[in-house]
Amino acid sequence: MMCENFHNLIASRHQARDVSTSDVTVLRDAVMQLIASHQDVNQLLSEASSIVADGEPACDAERPEKKARKNQSSLDLDLDAISVYQCISVLKQRAHLTACPLSISAATFCAQKLVEISSRCPGSWLHDKDQKSVSVIIDVIKKLIEEDDFNKQGFVAIICKRELANVGILWMLHLSSIFTLSDFITASVRSPAIVTAFTANLAEVCIDGGDDADAVSRLLAYVVDKAFGDAESEVEDSTRVKKVLMAILSKVLGRVLDFVRFSDQLSWKNPFAWIFDGEILDRTPCKAFQTHAIKFMLGYKCSVKASAAVSEQCLWTSGKTSEALRSLFDTLCLSFEADELASILKAVLDNHEVNWQLLLCFSTFYLLHFQDAPRLLTSIITCSLAHAFEQLEEEDMLTAFLLARQASLEGTHVFPTYDSWFTKTFREPHTLARTKKSFAFFVRFLAQLVPYETHVPFLKVQITRLPFVPPKCRSLLADYVALAKTRLLDLHVPAEELNMLTTSTSVSTSASTSVSHAAKDQLVERAEQDVNKFVAAFEKNGKIPPAIIETSILHKPFYVGKLLPALLKPRPLPGQPDSLVRLIEALKAADKIPASMYSGYRKGCEREMQQLVSGVFESDDEDLSIPPMQQLQHSVQKLQRTVSGKAEGKKTVSELLSVISERTQAVAAIKTGTITFPQTCDIITLDEEIPEDEKINMQIVDVLLNGFCKMVVTPTQNSDSETLKGAPQYVAMLSGFAGLQPALYRQLMSLICTEVALHDHHLQGLARLLMLIANTGSDFRLARLHITTECKSFTDVIAASLPTFTKSSMIKTLKLCALILDYALGHAEERSGLRSERSSDNLFINVPEDFVRKFAYLVPRLCTEARSSACRTPSVSVDTALGTRWQEMVLRLWRLQPIHLMVQKSIMSFEEWAVSEMRVVLNEDYLDGVSRQDYFAWVVHTRFIPALSQHGGCDGSHAKACSIVFEALLKDAASSSFGSSKEKWRTHFRGTPCQPERTMGGRGQSRVLLLLLLQELLCLLPPAQESWLLGEFQQLLLVGGRAKQQAEVVAFVGILQHLPAYLLFCNKPCDWTEEQSLTRFRHFVNVTRLYCYDAVGLDSNLTATICKGMTLTEGQSSPFAGLLLVKLLESEPVLTGSVMLHWCQLSTSLLDLCYVHKAKHLETVFKEMDAMQQLATRVLEDGEAIKSPPAQSWLLAISLFSQLRATASDHAWLRSGGAQQDMQVMESLMLCFAAELILSTETLQVLALSSAVALKQPPCLRVFDKCSANTIKSHLLTDLQLKMLPWAFFRILHELRCQQAMMQEWQSEGWFGDLLQVNHADLCDLHASMESDEEWKWIRYEQGLDLHFMLKASKLMQSCEIASRDNKKLL
């Protein structure tokens, strides 16, 4: 009907002019398109169907079939149930029924069907069913386009008019090339509603992710390419389209930012992550969009003001940033280098208003993900500070402070602590606030921050690390400090802690720091205990415990500073209020909790709940409910999994280290900060006992060390250089914890320098750690083994302390040294895929020299292949102890030219080698007896003796080799055998001094090996007239200090007993002919008698050695030598007296030795002494009178003393009365007992014998007169014995006090009274000298010369004087 009316309408126009068929067709299509765009197809078809039905007189049989065809032709087609051909067939039938062209009818149908699908799922990505329906429609359109039966222009017009903005449908149309997104934007550019709807739908898809993330990413990539690509567009008004697309992307990015900043979803699929992989999108539009996105993001919604940034930036660290936001940062920074991002960041800060939360979070991400970021960010901070002080611009100052503070929160592995940064920036000579104007600006800026400060450590740093103060500006700083302390009080810092904050420029001592930490820990522990008690009491009756009210009134600082923070500790609140929640609410209602604290508590609880829901720990095994130590362990394990490439999370190594740093601080209150100024308090003494408050630090160190070792030895599946460089960042993080370093040092010492067995992977980790600590340098504190030793870097201390005295310690030390040298050479980095940037000249610049020394010492000792300089073959003998792999590695390093050069520079000297060998425990040595002999022969005769002295050798001199070995033995013996200071005059008077100890698991046996080596070298000495040994003794006496000299003399004598005795006179017995050589020997005797003395003679062992040397020298030299030795013996009373004193022990061996070596001259002298000894025996046994020449009386007295002391029996001779001719012998005998009494600790026996001598012949006491002459007194007694004679005199008189009658009889004689007065005066002088002379103070304690003894002596003196007066009266 419609067609007929239309033909009738235009019939007249056909008659008026000749119109071609094609023109009619075009006109009809245009009219139909106009009608279709303004008419509802459903109504049109319904109308057409009713007209046909009314005009068709069909029979009843045909109506059901026609009705079915009409129903099939309706718009309610089930596109899922029909094929493309069925759909096209229906469209053709409909076009035939309506007499409408198929192209227009099909375009209208498809467009409206797509609009209908879009209305069911607006904005979101299509579901599977809808995608299938759209696919059918697209296939229909393609088929119709092939048949040229589809009106595309009408299709587009309907879509734009009906505002179809579903991104899923549009993207499918774009992929099929039916209707591209460019066509859509071009058609909709003047329709803001359509663009707005499309933008909202695109943002929703980006946030929701959809089922096909790849499709969403490709859609975004197309939009980015069209918006930022450089290719010319065929679309009209392309510039306007680009601006629209850029605006769309900005809106989408803004919506995404709103989502990711507060997102609780961890499974968000970042659609931008897929478009920058280099395959979907070219680099140019990609980088242009990223630049635009970063600038847009940093300035998006600048609602976060600077004041909020100051207060809340501690909540914007890497560990607290959402995973979604970090993923977005990662995507946008993918194409940039560190310097490019720094330029973008600097441009945004200079030219735009910023969102401080996003900017600080971005700066944190930038800092942790780019190697050069710390340097570049520091440069930005420095430039901002310079501009701020130059222009007095507070915005630039705020920028610098916020960036520095944010960076410092991430740990020292990426940025210095705030303490270090503030100190370095604002103290001389770096500060920019040098003038009064700039300093006032600086202090005013800090004061403006104070009301917004919430992070207590920042304020504490600004108080304790005061900046440089120009003249006349001290008051400004004082006002700021007072304001800052007030703010700290508002932040509930206890007043007592504020009082500890120093206002000087010095660093607080470690002692005060540890005390303050201990005091705070006690207060916190007490507060936690009180909270538990209060909650338990409240749970019983539901009332506020009176103790809380009392504490809030009487102990308000503790209540506000400690108790309330412990009570209001944020936590995820339970669904049903528990007792703690009810108690807090009750206190709030009673106005016992400040509003600010309660508000902070509620916000903290909400934050904790949000983190719990969002899974802040990123794994199921990390939960807020677990203790902080376990949280730290989980973070360390997460780092290990990340390095190995097995972690499921997306955090990088730097981000995880920031989390570890934050949790380390949470476990224990540790003050972070590197040591800026070297002071005594910063030195760590390793042998000090670990304080109780540092035990938790040891646990932290165990966790961190274990994590580091596992991290560096775990095979990595990730080739990312940032991951491989995690070890230096790990150590840099450790350097920031100055409070942890004592525990770290002690733990490393216990692991490395003891017999603790370590696996190879532990050694690898520890070696890498030590190298990184050495490279880090001044960030680690200095250390020392003992308070008296020199302080060094810790790596130098541990290198010097590496043990090499057992098999296990040698193997462990060699492995560690090899690993350290391997790392220094760069082999470990090359195997890991990293390139070593160090030149060959600087390979060992940070390697402690002792590591190289001990490597050079142990390699030839443990590996025989290394002893041959010509050995260059890689073959090695298998050693089951060291292992084939390790031996191959050691020999490979040994043969490398850089190692060889370093060993030559740091080679161990011969003396150091000898000391090292003496420390070896023989029964636990790596080498057996034969192997050790071979090694000694090689190292001494091949390496050290031929080598030059500057290379640690002996310049080819055997004498020098002997001197070096002897000096090493001497130092070792002196250090191990010398007693305390109060025993320094009595040490080694009895027994054999310096005997090799049998302690320390056989260390003495190793000393014996060195003695054997010395004896072997002595046999190689060249002939000489002077004794080499006495020459060494002369050198020994040149050392300063009497105590040190005494120790070495005693050690010298001990070593002498293990060497050929003739060395006291000559190098070889046959060489000795000079009388002048006896001068050194006499000097030797006079020196040794001061330290190795036994009553009135030399020590028995020393005497035996001297006599043996004399006998060997006479027997193997010329006859003239015997006469010289006899003359020597007779001219030295000390030597003669010593032989007589010990003749009982020496007689048999000396006489036999003289007979064997034919020493006839000495044999004659010794026989005379033997006769004197027999005479003394007869006197004691038979009690006969003494008939001896006066010249030999002192020798007879010494012989008598020797036998009386040895037998300690009551001889008949002592009981018999004395004769006048016995007086000289008795005086000498009394001196012998007095000398023994002075030096002996067992005084009872000596006192009994000396008393018996005094009773036998009382006038013998006259020998205590200073004016009396006696050979023993003048030649045999030492200065100490002479000085102590008054004490011995009164000690004997005290023993005779019971013999009153005898005392009175003596008193009747004038000599006794005078003798008593003289000795009493000398005793008083001796006692007085002890107060002024430190050298004699020990006598007071050892010999009892105290006030009590002086009182007894005075009483004796007084009683004798009274008796004398009484006698005079009687007369």
Q: Which tokens sit at 308?
A: 């909020």
- Name the phi and psi angles at 685, rounded to 5: -95, 120
Categorize the per-residue pLDDT at 812 as very low, low, confident or very high, splitting at 50, 70 and 90. Answer: very high
> For residue 503, what pLDDT is reported?
38
Supply the DSSP symbol for 451. G
Distance, C-alpha 630 to centroid of its chain: 20
User: Which of 48-62, 619-633, 1141-1155 is least confident?
Assistant: 48-62
- Closest to 206 measured CA to CA, from 244, 133, 281, 263: 263
User: What is the distance between the alpha carbons of residues 1136 and 1130, in angstroms, rounded to a whole number?
Assistant: 7
Which bin fits 863, alpha (ψ -120 to 50), beta or left (φ > 0)? beta
Query: What are 112-147's pLDDT values in tens digits?
Result: 777 777 776 655 667 667 777 777 777 777 777 777
User: What is the distance between the alpha carbons of residues 1352 and 244, in angstroms, rounded to a whole number?
Assistant: 116
Mean of all residue pLDDT scores within the chain: 75
User: What is the distance between the alpha carbons of residues 1183 and 235, in angstroms, rounded to a whole number?
Assistant: 144
- 699-714 average pLDDT score: 85
- 510-532 average pLDDT score: 61
Residue keyed to tokens 């079915």: 68
Positive or negative, the Cα torsion across 630, 631, 633, 638?
positive
Q: Which tokens sit at 336?
A: 């940039």
- Closest to 512 measured CA to CA, from 522, 525, 499: 499
Which bin fits 996, alpha (ψ -120 to 50), beta or left (φ > 0)? beta
User: What is the distance between the alpha carbons of residues 453 and 487, in angstroms, rounded to a whole number?
Assistant: 8
> For residue 815, what pLDDT is reported?
92
Q: Which one is predicted more confidently, 574 or 1145? A: 1145
Query: What are 91-118's pLDDT values in tens digits?
Result: 777 776 776 777 777 777 777 777 777 7
515 pLDDT above the threshold of 60: no
> For residue 71, what pLDDT is reported?
39
1189 pLDDT above the threshold of 60: no
Query: What pairs with residue 685 in β-bridges?
Result: 784
Q: Which tokens sit at 1027?
A: 């004794």
The secondary structure of 798-830 as a DSSP string is HHHT---SSHHHHHHHHHHHHHHHHHHHTHHHH
User: Which of 235-239, 444-448, 940-944, 1013-1017 is least confident?
Assistant: 235-239
Distance, C-alpha 1254 to centroid of its chain: 72
1332 pLDDT above the threshold of 70: no
Query: What pairs with residue 1094 in β-bridges?
Result: 1097
920 pLDDT above the threshold of 50: yes
- Closest to 1238 measured CA to CA, from 1087, 1343, 1096: 1343
Angle of CA points 970, 975, 981, to nearest 5° = 125
174 pLDDT above the threshold of 60: yes
User: What is the distance between the alpha carbons of residues 227 and 286, in angstroms, rounded to a whole number?
Assistant: 10
Tell me which range, 321-330, 652-661, 864-873, 910-919, is most confidently predicted by mean pLDDT. 910-919
Categorize the per-residue pLDDT at 68 as very low, low, confident or very high, splitting at 50, 70 and 90. Answer: very low
Residues sharing a CB contact under 8 Å with residue 84, sequence separation 6 or more, in sequence order = 136, 139, 140, 143
Positive or negative, the Cα torsion across 95, 96, 97, 100?
positive
Q: Are 236 and 186 in contact (CB under 8 A)?
A: yes
User: Which of 701-715, 901-915, 1165-1179, 1353-1367 is least confident?
Assistant: 1353-1367
User: What is the distance between the alpha carbons of residues 465 and 446, in angstroms, rounded to a whole number?
Assistant: 14
Q: Are 128 and 210 in contact (CB under 8 A)?
A: no
> For residue 619, what pLDDT is reported?
41
Q: Which tokens sit at 645?
A: 């490439």
Tell me which range, 128-142, 504-518, 876-890, 905-919, is most confidently predicted by mean pLDDT. 905-919
Q: Are 851 and 821 in contact (CB under 8 A)?
A: yes
User: What is the distance between the alpha carbons of residues 462 and 459, in angstroms, rounded to a whole number?
Assistant: 5
The secondary structure of 831-886 as a DSSP string is HHTPPP---GGGTTTTS-HHHHHHHHHHHHHH-GGGG-TT---------TTT-HHH
Positive or negative, the Cα torsion across 64, 67, 68, 69?
positive
User: What is the distance between the alpha carbons of residues 857 and 910, in angstroms, rounded to a whole number?
Assistant: 11
User: Which of 994-998, 1290-1294, 1308-1312 is least confident?
Assistant: 994-998
- Name the phi and psi angles at 454, rounded to 5: -125, -15
> For residue 874, what pLDDT is reported?
42
Q: Is 174 helix (H, G, I), strand (E, B) or coil?
A: helix
> For residue 816, what pLDDT is reported?
92
Categorize the per-residue pLDDT at 1276 as very low, low, confident or very high, splitting at 50, 70 and 90. Answer: confident
Range list of H helices, 73-191: 84-98, 102-120, 128-146, 152-161, 167-175, 181-188
Q: Is 256 exposed, middle or buried (0-12, 13-18, 19+ CB in 10 A)?
A: buried
Q: Which tokens sit at 268?
A: 């968000």
User: What is the distance between the alpha carbons of residues 689 and 687, in angstroms, rounded to a whole number?
Assistant: 6
Distance, C-alpha 47 to centroid of its chain: 90
Q: Are 755 and 808 in contact (CB under 8 A)?
A: yes
Q: Are 1159 and 1153 in contact (CB under 8 A)?
A: yes
Other CB atoms within 10 A of residue 368 CB: 27
Q: At 289, which amino acid appears?
A: F
User: Which of 298-312, 707-721, 871-885, 1221-1235 is least confident?
Assistant: 871-885
Element (DSSP H or E) covering residue 1149 = helix 1143-1157
- Whole-structure pTM value: 0.67
14 pLDDT above the threshold of 50: no
| β-bridge pairing 783-784 and 684-685 | parallel
Categorize the per-residue pLDDT at 871 as very low, low, confident or very high, splitting at 50, 70 and 90. Answer: very low
The secondary structure of 1227-1267 as a DSSP string is HHHHHHHHHHHHH-S-HHHHHHHHHHHHHH-GGGGGGGSTT
50 pLDDT above the threshold of 50: no
Range list of H helices, 883-1002: 884-895, 897-905, 910-918, 929-938, 958-977
> For residue 985, what pLDDT is reported?
33
Q: Are 918 and 969 in contact (CB under 8 A)?
A: yes
Q: Are 572 and 612 in contact (CB under 8 A)?
A: yes
> For residue 232, what pLDDT is reported?
54
Residues sharing a CB contact under 8 Å with residue 772, sequence separation 6 or more, in sequence order = 727, 728, 730, 731
Q: Are 1086 and 1096 in contact (CB under 8 A)?
A: no
Element (DSSP H or E) covering residue 1119 = helix 1119-1131
Categorize the per-residue pLDDT at 1001 as very low, low, confident or very high, splitting at 50, 70 and 90. Answer: very low
- Closest to 767 measured CA to CA, from 721, 700, 825: 825
Q: Above pLDDT 70, what percent of the chain? A: 73
Query: What are 414-435's pLDDT values in tens digits?
Result: 888 888 888 888 877 678 888 8
User: What is the distance between the alpha carbons of residues 834 and 719, in angstroms, rounded to a whole number?
Assistant: 10
Q: Are 733 and 660 in contact (CB under 8 A)?
A: yes
Q: Which tokens sit at 720?
A: 């990312």
- Name the phi and psi angles at 684, rounded to 5: -95, 120
User: Which of 429-438, 711-720, 949-958, 1222-1231 is least confident?
Assistant: 711-720
Q: Are 743 and 698 in contact (CB under 8 A)?
A: yes
User: What is the distance between the alpha carbons of residues 600 and 577, in angstroms, rounded to a whole number?
Assistant: 18
User: Which of 330-344, 513-527, 658-672, 874-888 is least confident?
Assistant: 513-527
Residue keyed to tokens 């020999």: 891
